[in-house]
Amino acid sequence: MKRKIYDKIMDWKEKSNGKTALLIDGARRVGKSYIAGEFAKKQL
């Protein structure tokens, strides 16, 4: 499942270089945990 936020997370990864934390904020039950998990799986 592709989400719009995935591109923003990729931008954060490229710009931050591991020096800043990422906060995924939003309403309940919109897929925040899902997208964080998918990002972790694909980027390792």
* Per-residue tokens: 20: 């800043």
Rounded average pLDDT over 12-24: 94
| Residue-averaged pLDDT of the chain | 92
CA atoms lying within 13 Å on the CB side of residue 20: 10
> How large a percentage of the chain has pLDDT more than 90?
84
Q: Would the pLDDT of 33 be above 80? A: yes
User: What residues make up the domain containing 16?
Assistant: 5-43
Q: Number of folded domains in the chain? A: 1
Cα 33 to Cα 39: distance, rounded to the nearest angstrom = 10
**Reported pTM:** 0.79
- Number of Cβ within 10 Å of residue 32's Cβ equals 15
